[in-house]
Structure 1
């Protein structure tokens, strides 16, 4: 309760003082991690009003990306973001941009409005964008440009208006003619039919011009149109012919693309002044040997050297052509995307021994045959060879005999099922080998015997099931080995021998069932990344030793998505010794229990993901993260967490990013979040935070914390009612201090339950007597009773139980109201006033009689009314000091039976009492006569007590004064009555 009171006081201060503090969270945008309030993205927010989306973004924003949103209009809602430099609004169904949309964004450098529905631009829309460098307007519906639209964007370098509906090239040229810094202009996939214009020219700074995908029939332009252009793309103009280039100066071009046009490339080279070495011959219809050789002859007439020759997308079926007619190719030959079925040991490269790169991707090659032919010269300069995306089934021995100096060999994405032991023979300089996405089933101990300089080996997505001894024995320089996506179930003992420099090993997607340290002995001192995701690893017990104990340099470990049910048991010692680990992935498992000391050795861990790793709803063990003091990012999504406690998360003092969405927590204590002193990014989407007083502190904390961004805070719904939101649920009722009132009420109830029995025992009859006296006083009896006390109506009031009535009527009444003793007695059955309340009758009887004689028996002790009568009489005895009470015991009652009647025991200690002689008493008649004599004398005695400790009896003057009581004798058989 003290803690709650302190928190409520703190909340009062917060609400009273800190209301003006601006929170860190945003309604519809997310700040990019580590950006320090400079970079934001707003994705899939379906609000038509731009201001609603951006109104709470800070002025410090530099980068803003709005994507996949439904924003039909941009008004001046961006005007407060004066420091914005990069703005992207794409795709968002944008149709209208107001004149003042970019009015105050003078620092903007990049503006991307691609993939929208813009059909027009206002004339002075960009007038304030003096620093704009890049403007992207592709994939809109622009039909024309206002003449002044780029008037003030003099710093513009890149303008992309591809895939629009532009038809007038003159209109575009006039709009951009004054942009002296423009270097890239993309007008591809519009509706231009010609490039005619007058009185204007393209900027001299323009070096890249794309006009691909238009409907150009002719260029129709001035000869000097492309005088400053270096790269001209005219591809995909299917109606463009060679004649269109007649008289056009192309001598300044460094690259010309004519793919998928109707240009006769041979005719074009004859009529054009373009340098053939700068023409991209991709998709120019060079299908057969004759055309290719003629091309080479034309090129060789003007050039002795050519850097790149691109012949892709030409439908070439055979390599029967001879490239020795061509100029010397010094870098790359590209034959990709053709219909080649064989390359005949690269015989077509005769005379081109200086080629360094050969691409034959996306063809129909089915095999790589032996090429050990001493008559053919080796291609010693060739360093990169790519046969990707073919249909290669087999690679024979000595397939690369003529290319001994290859450094990069790409055979991936084929159907290779047979790979000869000596297929790689002679490739001593090979650095990277891609064999992924094939059908390989076996690797042999001499497969890589000659590739001892290999550094990267990719065997992913094959059908390898066993790694045999010595498979990688020769690969001492290998640093990256990718065996993911295979069917590996085991490694022979020496399967990894030789990998002394391996730093990254990928074994994900295999069928491994256990982690055996003997497999990794060869590289345990060098390995930095180990990927074991999507295997069948499981533990049936808590193993005593860690398989990673000696991996002193391991920084990344992935153990997620184990099949079929994940890591159901996480051994306590699994991560022992991994002091250098930086990232740990345990996602998509079904761990039933995470031991409290599982991560104790991971003192250097920076990133940990446990998303979807547990079964059902869980609570993490206290102290499970106690040693992760360097952790900066923690992902605990979809774990079923029910609580968020300081004992679990309190030690993560360096944590900056916490992704905890999709969990079962109903509340998050603020003191836990406050202990995470460096937390900046909190994702709690789809967490069922109750909109109750339990979370009032959390609501205020998330709304006003200037250092913590809660992702989509303003969209978190209340689980009780999806129409309400967490950030503004009603908290007024929480300030009634209901808990405090409940505490005090509970305390009072507990106090009463504790004290009431004590009061009942000590004061019950006093209270009850006071009540009855008050009632008598109220009915005007009290004064009358007090006035007549000395002239009482009765000599004695007889208090007895109905079970003792026979003794009273047969013995007591005759002996006290007879001729010998003319006392007037008050008997309840005879003298109580009919119709009057019994309590009033009892009070009246006690106070109207000089004495009250209590006939005590076991039945008397059990009677509530008898108890009331003796209590009223004893009150007069002790509190009013009046000797009015006489006790007569009809039967012997033990001390133990009287122990609960403490009032009666007190009377017995203060006064003598009479005992009715029992049937076994000696001289019974004499004893009874003595009993009646003593009782009569006691009734006659006065009512005044002289002392507290003793009783000074006074006797009224009567005829029986000669009868002496046995007051100086010890009660015995001679004097049994007086006790």
Structure 2
């Protein structure tokens, strides 16, 4: 559509330039904002350097020359929405830099004029003026570009002082309007004119005619006419030649349909190129048409609008019908046969539109927010020049029918079908799109992954956001031209591959259900330059590292990074941005982890093996096994009550090389004489048929004490070590003091093998008896030994021994 210039464009550009920060507080040295402060007068403490002053929406009723005397740098002053009743421009005589002055929405009745030389924007609209407040001094404001006025009557002479001014915009508010002299407005020299009537008052057709003869851009608000359209004044052909308006806007229109059609015909044959009608209400008589209405409607039907006229674009927004009686097909036919490029009918509850009877000049059609269905433009072959078709927020259901609708639109490049009820059954429906279609919007529908079986082959931009797509199927037809794909707010659980989209450059998959994007995307979608993947419920785990690495390597490939990329799982990481999530290479690389675990295991095995060898662990294991087996056999062989009965005072453990000393010295001195001691000796007390280990264990357990004759020969004997081990086990298991160590000969520490650590510990911690070499000390030795063995055996065993 061509550039329809709004009546307030200049005002807003000017405000943006000079008043960009109007809402800053008084703390700013150049801007003072006292808006909505319940003021009844201008404050006295305004900084002298203030350039922008906002006093709007207060209760200020009068202005004084002293109010602004000190503000010599003031450029922008907003006094709108107050209760000022009189205006004397002399109050601004010291504000020579003032360029913007807004006094709208007050109660001003009188104006006392004074030139404000640099004023560019002056708004006196929505006040209580009877006549237009245009003074002779206004004619000297050569910089004036925007002028807002209000009055209840307009006369031809009202504009005589400003006819020479080149204005950009004139804004007229005509509250309680009572009089207008025809051709008064034509004295104005302005590019844009905006006229606002009272909402409850009939507008003037002459103001419409004169407004179209005055400015290029015309906007009229509150167009209401309650009289019969029979009174509609038909303009002369001379009037049509004087029309200057090329861009026309009607806002808040409430008319009988007959008047609307007459205005339409007037504008159609005028030089107007861009016509916008907003908030349109059709009215008509209830019941059947009168004869006059019928004849008018018949003439309208017989006078199609496909020929003549300068109009390029027609826009109708927010149209409503209020009980009228006529065939709507007439209206649809007039719209469809228009010889214009752009047609917009927005929010009009329109259920249908006819296909043009002849090749149409439409290049842009916008029928958004209506009630159109799948039957629209089916088999229509006359829209060959159409380039853009917008049908969002209607009631389309079949994607296949939509495709066939476009099949004859040879020039169609853009189609918007968003916010409908579209579905597609891939198994039963076929599609045939226009070959020229390059941009397709199917967002906010009910489409599933089957939609990829019904897409234009030459599509370049595809919007599928807010549908029900769970995946991008593999093996679909290749879309070689697709550059942009929007799959946001669907049900995707992984990034789609790009095997079917070789030219894809931009992908949007925001707000889906993607936990851990796969690494396949990084390989198949290397040409994607922009990826939007934020607002997904990311699971921060090892699988996510490749995706995070993508951002580091691409340098800005992920749009919205890092704010939109946040961990959702696991619970302890929820809310953590992906850029702050880190895992070590070892914890995520399975191969490296296995190698590390294997090396650690090997080291552990080596350490254990070394310790086992060093401490002779196998020997101890073997001893534990032997002891366990012996205990098990003893448990089954003897009654339980006999197990713990002592039979001997002591068991003697010695090396065979020390047997002479044992037999000649130890045994004779302990077993004979007073207080004889019962000794267990392997040569006489071991039971034939039992294993040596079993005999050793039995003797140790049936003896109160265990005597170990230590010498260098003892530590060299394997069986002596067994006996020491079992005796030491009894020491701890029964918590008894049953060991007696006799050092027959000194034992150098280096002679004791490493595995004899128990012997070393016993010799270091326990007191032992040393065999004296002097004969005189032997008696004391035997006395001490007997004392150490001293115990009374059970009587039954003593009797048996005797």
Checking the alignment, whether the CA contact within 8 Å between 1:584 and 1:607 is kept in structure 2 is yes
Checking the alignment, whether the CA contact within 8 Å between 1:619 and 1:641 is kept in structure 2 is no
2:271 is aligned with 1:358: no
Structure-1 separation of matches of 2:345 and 2:649 = 121
Residue in structure 2 matched with residue 314 of structure 1 by the alignment: 223
Residue in structure 1 matched with residue 588 of structure 2 by the alignment: none
SS of match in other structure, 1:233: strand
For 1:251-266, what aligned pairs fall within 5 Å after superposition? 251-252=163-164, 254=167, 255-266=169-180
For 1:431-580, what aligned pairs fall within 5 Å after superposition? 431-444=363-376, 448-466=380-398, 467-468=400-401, 470-490=404-424, 495-500=431-436, 502-524=437-459, 527=460, 529-539=461-471, 543-545=473-475, 549-555=478-484, 557-562=485-490, 566-567=491-492, 569-570=493-494, 573-576=496-499, 578=501, 580=503
Residue in structure 1 matched with residue 789 of structure 2 by the alignment: none
SS of match in other structure, 1:234: strand
Structure-1 separation of matches of 2:154 and 2:163 = 16
Checking the alignment, whether the CA contact within 8 Å between 1:242 and 1:267 is kept in structure 2 is yes
Residue in structure 2 matched with residue 596 of structure 1 by the alignment: 519
Query: How much has 1:234 moved relative to structure 2?
Result: 2.4
Deviations 1:513-572 (A, max 9, x none): 224444224423xx1x21111222224xx843366x4344413x221223xxx23x33x6
Query: How much has 1:464 moved relative to structure 2?
Result: 0.8
1:385 paired residue among 292, 314, 319: 314
SS of match in other structure, 1:364: strand
For 1:65-76, what aligned pairs fall within 5 Å after superposition? none
2:574 is aligned with 1:664: yes
Checking the alignment, whether the CA contact within 8 Å between 2:157 and 2:184 is kept in structure 1 is no
Residue in structure 1 matched with residue 118 of structure 2 by the alignment: 205
1:373 paired residue among 292, 302, 306: 302
Residue in structure 1 matched with residue 687 of structure 2 by the alignment: none
Query: How much has 1:403 moved relative to structure 2?
Result: 3.6
Residue in structure 2 matched with residue 878 of structure 1 by the alignment: 747
Query: How much has 1:266 moved relative to structure 2?
Result: 1.3
Structure-2 separation of matches of 1:305 and 1:881 = 125
Structure-2 separation of matches of 1:370 and 1:146 = 65
Deviations 1:908-966 (A, max 9, x none): xxxxxxxxxxxxxxxxxxxxxxxxxxxxxxx99969xxxxxxxxxxxxxxxxxxxxxxx
Residue in structure 2 matched with residue 805 of structure 1 by the alignment: 649
Query: How much has 1:484 moved relative to structure 2?
Result: 0.4
2:727 paired residue among 863, 871, 879: 863
Checking the alignment, whether the CA contact within 8 Å between 2:360 and 2:385 is kept in structure 1 is yes
Residue in structure 1 matched with residue 149 of structure 2 by the alignment: 234
Checking the alignment, whether the CA contact within 8 Å between 1:227 and 1:252 is kept in structure 2 is no
Structure-1 separation of matches of 2:457 and 2:414 = 14
Structure-1 separation of matches of 2:320 and 2:77 = 41
Residue in structure 1 matched with residue 80 of structure 2 by the alignment: 162
Checking the alignment, whether the CA contact within 8 Å between 1:417 and 1:438 is kept in structure 2 is yes
For 1:717-796, what aligned pairs fall within 5 Å after superposition? none
Structure-1 separation of matches of 2:581 and 2:278 = 60
Structure-2 separation of matches of 1:453 and 1:444 = 17
Query: How much has 1:89 moved relative to structure 2?
Result: 6.6
Checking the alignment, whether the CA contact within 8 Å between 1:639 and 1:663 is kept in structure 2 is no
Structure-2 separation of matches of 1:272 and 1:845 = 138
Deviations 1:561-584 (A, max 9, x none): 23xxx23x33x6543354654543
1:408 paired residue among 342, 350, 365: 342
Query: How much has 1:663 moved relative to structure 2?
Result: 6.8
Structure 1 residues 379, 531: closer, same or farther in 2, change over 3 A? same
Structure-1 separation of matches of 2:272 and 2:671 = 152
Structure 1 residues 454, 494: closer, same or farther in 2, change over 3 A? farther
2:92 paired residue among 160, 172, 175: 175
Structure-2 separation of matches of 1:621 and 1:266 = 75
Structure 1 residues 371, 631: closer, same or farther in 2, change over 3 A? farther
Checking the alignment, whether the CA contact within 8 Å between 2:649 and 2:678 is kept in structure 1 is no
SS of match in other structure, 2:205: helix
Deviations 1:221-273 (A, max 9, x none): 743245434432124x7xx5558986983434645433242343414866997
Residue in structure 1 matched with residue 689 of structure 2 by the alignment: none
2:560 is aligned with 1:634: yes
Deviations 1:860-881 (A, max 9, x none): 6422299999896569633189
Structure 1 residues 231, 544: closer, same or farther in 2, change over 3 A? closer
Structure-2 separation of matches of 1:820 and 1:509 = 108
Structure-2 separation of matches of 1:121 and 1:295 = 44
Structure 1 residues 445, 174: closer, same or farther in 2, change over 3 A? closer
Structure-2 separation of matches of 1:543 and 1:247 = 71
Residue in structure 2 matched with residue 125 of structure 1 by the alignment: 47
Structure-1 separation of matches of 2:559 and 2:344 = 37
Query: How much has 1:210 moved relative to structure 2?
Result: 1.0
SS of match in other structure, 2:520: coil
Gaps of 5+ in 1: 1-83, 103-107, 645-661, 674-750, 763-800, 830-841, 886-897, 906-938, 944-979
Checking the alignment, whether the CA contact within 8 Å between 1:514 and 1:538 is kept in structure 2 is yes
Checking the alignment, whether the CA contact within 8 Å between 2:709 and 2:743 is kept in structure 1 is no
1:152 paired residue among 60, 73, 87: 73
Checking the alignment, whether the CA contact within 8 Å between 2:531 and 2:559 is kept in structure 1 is yes
Residue in structure 2 matched with residue 429 of structure 1 by the alignment: 361
Residue in structure 2 matched with residue 729 of structure 1 by the alignment: none
Query: How much has 1:606 moved relative to structure 2?
Result: 4.8
Residue in structure 1 matched with residue 697 of structure 2 by the alignment: none
For 1:2-151, what aligned pairs fall within 5 Å after superposition? 88=21, 90=23, 97=26, 101-102=28-29, 113=33, 117=37, 119=39, 125=47, 127=49, 138-139=56-57, 146-151=67-72
SS of match in other structure, 1:204: coil
Query: How much has 1:510 moved relative to structure 2?
Result: 1.3
**TM-score normalized by the length of structure 2:** 0.61
Structure 1 residues 474, 139: closer, same or farther in 2, change over 3 A? farther
Structure-1 separation of matches of 2:541 and 2:256 = 59
SS of match in other structure, 2:560: strand
SS of match in other structure, 1:88: coil
- Indicate the RMSD between aligned Cα atoms, in angstroms: 5.9
Structure-1 separation of matches of 2:249 and 2:746 = 127
SS of match in other structure, 1:340: strand
Gaps of 5+ in 2: 1-16, 285-296, 322-327, 584-605, 618-644, 653-658, 680-704, 732-736, 761-769, 775-802
Checking the alignment, whether the CA contact within 8 Å between 2:196 and 2:220 is kept in structure 1 is yes
Checking the alignment, whether the CA contact within 8 Å between 1:602 and 1:627 is kept in structure 2 is no
SS of match in other structure, 2:355: coil
For 1:930-941, what aligned pairs fall within 5 Å after superposition? none
Query: How much has 1:804 moved relative to structure 2?
Result: 4.0
2:510 is aligned with 1:587: yes
Query: How much has 1:146 moved relative to structure 2?
Result: 3.3
SS of match in other structure, 1:169: strand
Checking the alignment, whether the CA contact within 8 Å between 2:343 and 2:366 is kept in structure 1 is yes
Checking the alignment, whether the CA contact within 8 Å between 2:540 and 2:570 is kept in structure 1 is no
Structure-1 separation of matches of 2:134 and 2:233 = 37
SS of match in other structure, 2:531: strand
Structure 1 residues 496, 856: closer, same or farther in 2, change over 3 A? closer
Q: Greater share of helix residues, 1 or 2?
A: 2
Structure-2 separation of matches of 1:435 and 1:168 = 50
Structure 1 residues 880, 225: closer, same or farther in 2, change over 3 A? closer
Structure-2 separation of matches of 1:443 and 1:596 = 45
Residue in structure 2 matched with residue 38 of structure 1 by the alignment: none
Checking the alignment, whether the CA contact within 8 Å between 1:114 and 1:137 is kept in structure 2 is yes
Structure-2 separation of matches of 1:478 and 1:377 = 21
Structure-2 separation of matches of 1:613 and 1:820 = 91
Checking the alignment, whether the CA contact within 8 Å between 1:803 and 1:859 is kept in structure 2 is no
Query: How much has 1:903 moved relative to structure 2?
Result: 7.8
Structure 1 residues 864, 248: closer, same or farther in 2, change over 3 A? same
Structure-2 separation of matches of 1:610 and 1:388 = 36
Structure 1 residues 271, 365: closer, same or farther in 2, change over 3 A? closer
